[in-house]
């Protein structure tokens, strides 16, 4: 098991990093951001993968317009390719520095012709003024021999290795770097495949180590679990990272778009000292937290970046990413309960709930401290909703007091809502697919239990509240709903914890029945205020939170 803090290599090299020491950086290319110098020298490269040269020329113009630093021209994507004429045009008409690659099928590309023709095209690209060419390790020596004495001084040769099966150990990657360097590479590129998010730590270690040894290094980890390799290359000193022009057009999934890198993750502002935050969940791509926190971090000038973290095993995640820079985490499905065991200390309320949705690494001692901010966000949103509902009554305490509060689900969010509603004096009924879990939660908070299948048959009473805290109806399964429409008319208020989509089928049908509805977006915003304050130590700019979330809904 790898522990970044315990790795002498990592600690030593990480400590040596500062914004001015990026030895492997973008020599000759000054990277700017809104007129200011960027906080890193990692280049942003757009792979140009059109099937025609005309389209490639258009895409190169767009790459410049969206803020890329260079383009990788993937010659293997061209359906028709006249070497001499097309390469001349591509070099001449490209408004950015050019990186040519002609990837063969045997290394994950599309070219299946003979090797001489392929390497001739790359040699011609060099003659015509390419800034970079990328050749595969397998043919690198032969390629260098063939350009011996003819290599322009400004040309940089990237020697690459792609592994579509897994990510080898740090030791194996280190050996691979040495082999690639020995081939004569100016820049070492290693792309591997993530089977687990902790695989990316291997690449980070090699990136940091390469930077200290002044070996320009491009490290990518393919797959959704490898997404942070793209974003944090800026933090750890990668030579370049790849971003697509449009989402869905990728040379290696899951490449973010250049726009996302620049404007969602504030890529140019990521430096060696930037703190890393993220949402630990599975699935995770639906989460709007990165949009929210990055925009707010940027607005208030906080030096942090917030990412999607697709985590399978939360304990392994924390054992691996144990250094101080991995500073704070939101916790989502299905890890909220398991997260409790990963913390060194747990807030008393979160302990009673038995679930955590926020973890911070205490700057003083590096210990993990867990909180639950879900219950505050959800309960205050429901109370607000009830105040505006037709049968709000004239209660002076919480409008929840005395009402039957039905929670669908018995997971992390369910516990938070059941606990919060109980604290406000509501009577709790837990309805869950797995009855035993419903019973267990009901016993813990002091309430009744029913199986989800029987929920439609409970005797109705005045003022009932329904809270869905399962993922039934969440994107992409937006046609699903946890309770049939005819049962909804008995409720005064229906709340859905889901916020993607904002209007779930459950909420639409409740509204059609004339019931007051409260969206999970309100809960999301409420719990996010608190998390932001814990992450940054700054007061949450509440108006900005709402504005950002409304813009992204």
Q: Among residue numbers 371 through 400, which ones bind ligand NAP (CB under 6 A)?
A: 374, 377
Site membership for ligand NAP, residue 340 (CB under 6 A): no
Site membership for ligand NAP, residue 289 (CB under 6 A): no
Site membership for ligand NAP, residue 290 (CB under 6 A): no
CA atoms within 13 A on the CB side of 522: 16
CA dihedral 44, 50, 56, 61 (to 10 degrees): -50
DSSP string, 373-386: -HHHHHHHHHHHHH
Candidates 29, 54, 58; CA nearest to 41 is 29
| Contact string (CB under 6 A) for ligand NAP, positions 202-241, x = contact | ----------------------------------------
| Contact string (CB under 6 A) for ligand NAP, positions 402-421, x = contact | -------xxxxxx-------
Q: Among residue numbers 510 through 529, which ones bind ligand NAP (CB under 6 A)?
A: 520, 523-524, 527
Q: Among residue numbers 469 through 488, which ones bind ligand NAP (CB under 6 A)?
A: 469-472, 474
Find the DSSP H helices in 52-96: 53-66, 83-93
Site membership for ligand NAP, residue 434 (CB under 6 A): yes
Annotated catalytic residue, options 156, 162, 335, 415? 162
Distance separating the N- and C-terminal Cα atoms of the chain: 40
Instruction: Give the three-class secondary structure for 165.
Output: coil
- Name the closest residue to ligand NAP (Cβ): 411
Whole-Å CA distances, 422 to 144, 153, 402, 432, 503 = 72, 72, 10, 18, 26
Q: Give the nearest distance from C-beta 419 to ligand NAP in angstroms.
A: 12
Strands (E), 39-140: 43-48, 70-74, 98-101, 132-136
Site membership for ligand NAP, residue 360 (CB under 6 A): no
Does the annotation mark 374 as catalytic? yes
Annotated catalytic residue, options 59, 69, 189, 202? 189
Q: Which is nearer to ligand NAP, 241 or 469 (CB)?
A: 469
| Contact string (CB under 6 A) for ligand NAP, positions 305-334, x = contact | ---------------------------xxx
DSSP string, 313-352: -HHHHHHHS-STTEEEEEE-TT-TTHHHHH-SEE-HHHHH
Omega within 30 of 0 (cis) for the link into 270: no
| Contact string (CB under 6 A) for ligand NAP, positions 6-25, x = contact | --------------------
CA dihedral 520, 522, 524, 526 (to 10 degrees): -150
Annotated catalytic residue, options 156, 202, 209, 336? 336
Yes or no: say if 419 and 353 are a contact pair by the CB < 8 Å rule.
yes
Does the annotation mark 189 as catalytic? yes
Q: Give the nearest distance from C-beta 474 to ligand NAP in angstroms.
A: 5
Yes or no: say if 262 and 63 are a contact pair by the CB < 8 Å rule.
no
Q: Give the nearest distance from C-beta 345 to ligand NAP in angstroms.
A: 21
Candidates 41, 19, 21; CA nearest to 30 is 41
Site membership for ligand NAP, residue 428 (CB under 6 A): no
Does the annotation mark 387 as catalytic? no
Q: Which is nearer to ligand NAP, 74 or 415 (CB)?
A: 415
Query: What does the binding site for ligand NAP look like in residue numbers (CB under 6 A)?
Result: 332-334, 336, 374, 377, 409-414, 432-434, 437, 452, 469-472, 474, 497-499, 520, 523-524, 527
Q: Which residues are catalytically annotated?
A: 162, 189, 336, 374
């Amino acid at each position: 098991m790898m522990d970044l803090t315990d790795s002498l290599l990592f600690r030593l090299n990480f400590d040596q990093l500062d914004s001015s020491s990026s030895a492997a950086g973008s020599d000759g290319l000054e990277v700017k951001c809104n007129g200011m110098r960027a906080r890193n020298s990692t280049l942003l490269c757009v792979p140009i993968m059109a099937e025609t040269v005309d389209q490639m020329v258009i895409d190169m113009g767009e790459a410049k317009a969206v803020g890329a630093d260079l383009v990788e021209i993937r010659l293997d994507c061209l359906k028709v390719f006249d070497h001499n004429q097309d390469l001349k045009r591509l070099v001449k008409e490209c408004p950015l520095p050019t990186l040519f690659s002609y990837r063969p099928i045997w290394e994950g590309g599309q070219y299946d012709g003979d090797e001489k023709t392929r390497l001739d095209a790359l040699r011609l690209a060099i003659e015509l003024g390419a800034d970079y060419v990328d050749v595969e390790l397998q043919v690198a020596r032969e390629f260098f021999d063939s350009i011996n004495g003819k290599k322009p001084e400004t040309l940089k040769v990237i020697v690459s290795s792609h592994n579509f099966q897994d990510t080898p150990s740090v030791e194996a990657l280190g050996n691979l770097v040495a082999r690639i360097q020995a081939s004569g590479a100016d820049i070492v590129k290693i792309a591997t495949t993530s089977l687990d998010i902790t695989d990316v730590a291997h690449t980070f270690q090699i990136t940091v180590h390469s930077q200290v040894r002044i070996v320009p290094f491009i490290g990518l980890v393919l797959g959704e679990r490898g997404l942070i390799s793209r974003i944090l290359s800026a933090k750890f000193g990668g030579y370049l990272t790849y971003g697509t022009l449009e989402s869905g057009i990728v040379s290696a999934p899951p490449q973010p778009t250049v726009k996302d890198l620049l404007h969602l993750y504030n890529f140019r502002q990521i430096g060696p000292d930037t703190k890393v935050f993220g949402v630990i969940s599975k699935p995770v791509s639906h989460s709007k937290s990165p949009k929210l926190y990055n925009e707010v971090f940027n607005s208030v000038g906080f030096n942090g970046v917030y990412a999607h973290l697709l985590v399978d095993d939360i304990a392994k995640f924390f054992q691996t990413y144990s250094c101080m820079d991995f500073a704070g985490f939101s916790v989502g499905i299905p890890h909220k309960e398991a997260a409790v065991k990963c913390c060194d200390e747990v807030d008393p309320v979160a302990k009673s709930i038995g679930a955590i949705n926020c973890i911070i690494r205490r700057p003083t001692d590096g210990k993990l401290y867990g909180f639950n901010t879900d219950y505050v966000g959800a309960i205050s949103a429901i109370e607000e909703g009830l105040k505006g509902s037709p049968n709000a009554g004239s209660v002076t305490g919480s409008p929840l007091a005395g009402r039957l509060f039905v929670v669908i689900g018995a997971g992390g969010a369910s516990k938070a809502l059941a606990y919060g509603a109980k604290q406000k004096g509501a009577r709790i009924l837990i309805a869950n697919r797995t009855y035993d879990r419903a019973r267990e939660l009901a016993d813990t908070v002091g309430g009744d239990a029913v199986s989800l299948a029987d929920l439609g048959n409970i005797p109705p009473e005045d003022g009932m509240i329904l809270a869905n805290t399962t993922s039934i109806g969440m994107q992409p399964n937006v046609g699903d709903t946890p309770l049939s429409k005819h049962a909804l008319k008995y409720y005064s208020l229906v709340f859905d914890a889901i916020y993607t989509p904002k209007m779930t089928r459950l909420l639409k049908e409740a509204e059609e029945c004339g019931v007051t509805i409260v969206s999970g977006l309100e809960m999301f915003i409420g719990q996010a205020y608190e998390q932001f304050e814990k992450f940054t130590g700054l007061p949450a700019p509440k108006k900005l939170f709402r504005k950002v979330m409304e813009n992204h809904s």
